[in-house]
Structure 1
Amino acid sequence: MSKARLVITALFVEGQSAAEVARRYGVHRAWVYKLKARYLAEGEAAFEPRSRRPKTSPGATAPATVELVLRLRKQLAEAGLDAGADTIGWHLQHHHQVRLSRATIHRILTRAGAVVPDPGKRPRSSYLRFAADQPNECWQSDFTHYRLRGGRDVEVISWLDDHSRYALSVTAHPRITGPIVVSTFLETVAEYGIPASTLTDNGMVYTTRLSGGKGGRNGLESELRRLNITQKNSRPNHPTTCGKVERFQQTLKKWLRAKPTQPTTIAELQALLEIFVDEYNHRRPHRSLTHRATPATAYTTRPKAGPTTDRTSHTHDRVRTDRLDDTGVVTLRMNGQLHHIGIGRTHARTHVLLLVQDQQIRVVDAATGELLRELTLDPDRDYQPTGRPPGPVPKKNR
């Protein structure tokens, strides 16, 4: 028997007063009066468990925001794009000026039945991830098959920047051959510069190292040697070494399958590929990039690497990630001395990249790629103020 029933029995059957019942059962007298009034009004229903949920929830997500989250989920999924909580949060912040935590978005999707739990799925934290430190430090390439409407098979070759996941070149061909690999590579070099290295599988269009020494170098290997580019190849039967470009191809095919009408010619397929590359590079946040930046932001905001012979060996180059403090200042250690660089209170707590080449410094918004400040560090000053060119303070006229 519950304590509530004991109290009611003592009040109405035994005829005890509220004060006596409170002392007898060690409860507050106000609760006894409240229970008595509830029993008189509701009868036996007074003993049913009551929800402790507050009558109002000022911190609850607004219904319009919930509807927006579900609408974004539907739009992204139908377009064949990633529609997870992180991606939805990025679109909310950048396109709708709404900030929601990943946990809140996930709860909204779960309550609406838009998320199906998969306990057997391997957690992302269990993967060992490797990425180049700079754009053009390494380009990955691979090609994949695609069947046009009508049954004709074609192939799509991709060149992807390892650091930023930026899709440098994605083109469709009847069949990928050695000359096509060389021509697409050189066209990409002409547009984006010479990379420091390449990473591919061991297909004969990329390398002849597993051909038993027959035929010498192929066309791509000869071009890489001519340009002083380091060639790297995955181990046989280890496709995960080139996992970034493999994953890119999965994303591409998912997007193509979501189109209401499939292409019938290579020209139609190429037109779709160009639309996808623009969406992927400029408007789709990438889950593996810092602050879920777009590949275009990650590619354009850092200095580019290049072949060893083209690198400058007389400067100290480095890249730092940091966050401005509450006053809009970031710290940088140079030659053992700590310097404070003012950016402005309007950018307080912004995540930034610091691109440092000796005393030349650029401070970039890590999420948007916006250049917040460019300066030459004055090594004789601790604080590097805004609004004045670096250097010694000019003497006032006397």
Structure 2
Amino acid sequence: MSKARLVITAVLIEGRSQSQVARDYGVSQSWISRLITRYTNEGDAAFEPRSRRPKTSPTRLPQATIDLIIELRTQLSSKGLDAGPHTIAWHLQHHHRLHVSPASISRHLRAAGLVEPTPAKRPKTSYIRFQAEQPNQCWQADFTHWRLADGTDTEILSWLDDCTRYALSVTAHRRVTATTVYNEFTKTVAHHGIPYSTLTDNGMVFTTRLAGGKGGRNKFEAELRRLGVHQINSTPNHPTTCGKVERFQQTLKKWLTGYPRATTVTELQTQLQGFVDEYNHRRPHRSLPHHATPATAYISRPKATPATRIDTHNRVRTDRIDQAGAVTLRVNGRLHHIGIGRQHYRTRVLILAQDHHITVINAATGEVLRDFTLDPTRDYQPKGPKQKKPRT
């Protein structure tokens, strides 16, 4: 039995006073008075729960704005573009002169059933992100697979600027080879200048460093060496190192899905050019200040070159501290053991190496565990000077 029914029974049937019932049941006397009035006028309907929605909502968005939010969501999603609350807020501000918070947009999208609830994700603060400070400081590259209308497999090679997310080159090929990578890199350099560094995975089209010393450098690596470009390769089985270009390819495929499948590589290349134009010049990017477009960020900043050494981290690798409290790092062909401390056993770390300057960071918290200059003449790199035991 509900408390409302108990209160009505105590007052009208048992004949107890409203003040006494309010004390016995821990409710206000004014609520009892309103409840009795409703029961007198409505009968048993007074026991049904009522909406607590206010009679008026002065701050509620106009219905025209809500309809525009839903329309933008539908338009962006149909084109395979990002249609999140922040992107919709950007379009409302820049194209319709309306200022609506992303929280309000998200609330109305949920009310319209356009957002599916997802389980709790890992918080963004738990990730340690690295981003170049200038355009052309680091170019990321990767290729992905795509099928034509008749089922023919093709591959799409992408070059992306790490700092501004500017799509430098996106090309379709029957098959990406080392020669393909060299040719497209040469064309991109002719159009955008020589980068300071490149970041790729360990595919044979990018590097032969995992080929067991057979065959020497490939054509792409030789060109990087000739131009003085620093080549950086991710740790094997760690695709998140090249996460920016991986995420770019996800956006690309989502966009392509919204259009009819191309029948030829040439037709696919035409679709890719349309995507690059939309991505670089009209699509706001959430990772950039004020959600600027990649083209705006790329053009407005000074470019890095091989002669301007900006990024002090030549290499980034991950490791886990062993039982002895140390990690290993190979420098100039020699393996060195770096002491961290046994209390950090099994802790995952990022090792940032610029020549002999080494920084070891806790990958989960961002805490700097060691920052020192490596002694190339020693195998073991202790945490500090060895303390002499006092004589007894």
Q: Give the TM-score normalised by structure 2.
A: 0.70
Cα shift readout 1:108-149 (whole Å, capped 9, x = no counterpart) = 111121111121544444332211111110001111222211
Check 1:195–1:41 CA distance in 2 against 1; reply closer, same or farther (3 A cut).
same
CA distance in 2, matches of 1:231, 1:201: 11
Distance in 1 separating the partners of 2:34 and 2:217: 91
Partner in structure 1 of residue 178 of structure 2: 178
In structure 2, the CA distance between the partners of 1:237 and 1:8, relative to structure 1 (3 Å rule), is closer
Counterpart secondary structure, 2:171: strand
* Letter of the 1:285 counterpart: P
- Change over 3 Å in CA distance of 1:173–1:55 after alignment to 2: same
Q: 1:290 to 1:40 in 2, by over 3 A?
A: same
What is aligned with 1:267? 266
CA contact (8 A) 1:8 1:36 kept: no
Identical positions, percent = 60
Distance 1:147 1:75, change over 3 A: same
Are 1:300 and 2:299 an aligned pair? yes
1:150 corresponding residue in structure 2: 150
Contact in 2 for aligned 1:201/1:242 (Cα 8 Å) = yes
SS at the partner of 1:307? coil
Query: Which residue is equivalent to 1:290?
Result: 289
Q: Residues 66, 207 of structure 1: CA spacing in aligned structure 2 closer, same or farther, 3 A cutoff? A: same
Cα 1:164–1:10 change in 2 (3 A) is: same
User: Is the CA contact 1:166–1:295 (under 8 Å) kept in the aligned structure 2?
Assistant: yes
Distance 1:7 1:151 in 2: 73
Unaligned runs of 5+ in 1: 313-398
1:196 maps to which residue? 196
SS in 2 for 1:226: helix
2-side partners of 1:197 and 1:144: how far apart? 22
Aligned CA-pair RMSD: 2.7
Instruction: Go from structure 1 to structure 2 and tell me whether the alpha carbon gap of 1:6 and 1:254 turns closer, same or farther (over 3 Å shift).
Output: closer
**Distance in 2 of aligned mates of 1:226 and 1:161:** 21
Matched residues in 2 for 1:241 and 1:36: separation? Answer: 67
Q: Does 1:249 align with 2:249?
A: yes
Once residues 262 and 28 of structure 1 are traced to their aligned partners in structure 2, the CA distance between those partners, rounded to angstroms, is 68
* Distance in 1 of aligned mates of 2:202 and 2:11: 86
Structure 1's 10 and 257: CA in aligned 2 closer, same or farther, altered over 3 A?
A: closer
User: 1:281 — aligned with what?
Assistant: 280
Q: Secondary structure at the match of 1:129?
A: coil
Whether contact under 8 Å (1:80, 1:254) holds in the other structure is yes
Partners of 1:11 and 1:21 within 8 A in 2? no
In 1, distance between residues paired with 2:215 and 2:209?
A: 10
Residues 92 and 98 of structure 1 are in contact (CA less than 8 Å); yes or no, is this contact kept in structure 2? yes
Write the letter of the residue equivalent to 2:282. Answer: R
3-state SS of paired residue (1:305): coil
Q: Report the CA distance between 1:51 and its aligned residue.
A: 3.2
CA displacement, residues 7-58 of structure 1 (integer Å, 9 cap, x when unaligned): 78657985x9xxx755885798877765565444333434544433221111
Aligned length: 306
What is the CA distance between 1:60 and its match in structure 2? 1.2
What displacement does 1:294 show? 1.7
Partner of 1:379: none
Change (3 A) 1:35 1:245: closer
Return the letter of the residue paired with 2:269: Q
1:370 aligned residue: none
For 1:150, the aligned partner's letter is D
State the Cα distance separating 1:258 from its structure 2 match. Answer: 1.5
Distance 1:221 1:188 in 2: 15
Counterpart CA distance in 2 for 1:237 and 1:23 is 73
Q: Does 1:93 align with 2:93?
A: yes
Unaligned runs of 5+ in 2: 311-392
| SS of alignment partner, residue 297 of structure 1 | helix
Structure-to-structure mapping, 1:349-388, within 5 angstroms: none
Report the Cα distance in structure 1 between the residues aligned to 2:103 and 2:121, rounded to whole angstroms: 19
